[in-house]
Amino acid sequence: MNVLDAKTINTQNSLEIYVDRMNHVMVTDLHIPTEENPYFDLKIGIKYYRLRNQNYYDSDINYFWLRIDLEKNSVFLLEPDTQSLFAIKDEEEREATQELIGEWLINTLMFKHSIREIINQKKAENITSEVEIRPILRTIELLEKTLELSTEDILKATVEKAS
């Protein structure tokens, strides 16, 4: 790990340290667009270390949903009800968290590795019919678009509560 591969957010309760290491960034769920829900959603977990009073305190994993609206070509960051990466943060800390996602997370090796791992899993699925292959190819296409997200896409995203 290189020191430049880490990002820090100073909150009112602690110092959160995010590092680009194996198993610190993971995609835990994904939803491909359907007629009922036209969005592509990825639930992403990030493990970080928390320092309080200049001492190591603990580590934690918190989550957010990355939502891509394909029709409007827009991105949203959604807060889950529990273990939200944005929870108990004031407005400035929430902005810093959004910057963390846009300037650091989407550029980390582990984020890209997590997405590529899912792509490889989808490619390796045993497909027996034309009907089964369409959603898999669509998922792969959407995951590849996720790898193309820019810092600007994330920084201009709206942060909302997940519904």
Q: Please write the tens of the pLDDT for every residue from 37-67.
A: 889 999 999 999 999 877 777 899 999 999 9
**What pLDDT does residue 152 have?**
96
**What pLDDT does residue 1 have?**
44
For residue range 82-141, what is the model confidence (pLDDT) as tens digits?
A: 999 999 899 999 999 999 999 999 999 999 999 999 999 999 988 888 888 888 999 999
Confidence of residue 27 (pLDDT cuts 50, 70, 90): very high
Determine contact, residues 57/15, Cβ cutoff 8 Å. no
Determine contact, residues 143/120, Cβ cutoff 8 Å. no
**What pLDDT does residue 94 have?**
95
Is the pTM higher than 0.85? The answer reads yes
Determine contact, residues 8/17, Cβ cutoff 8 Å. yes
**What pLDDT does residue 63 have?**
98
Which of 145, 18, 162 has its CA nearest to residue 74?
A: 145
Crossing angle between the packed helical segments 109-124 and 130-146, to the nearest 10 degrees:
170
3-state secondary structure at position 65: strand
Cα–Cα distance between 8 and 88 in angstroms, integer?
17
**What pLDDT does residue 4 have?**
55
Residue 70 vs residue 140, higher pLDDT: 140
Q: What is the largest CA-CA distance in the chain?
A: 58
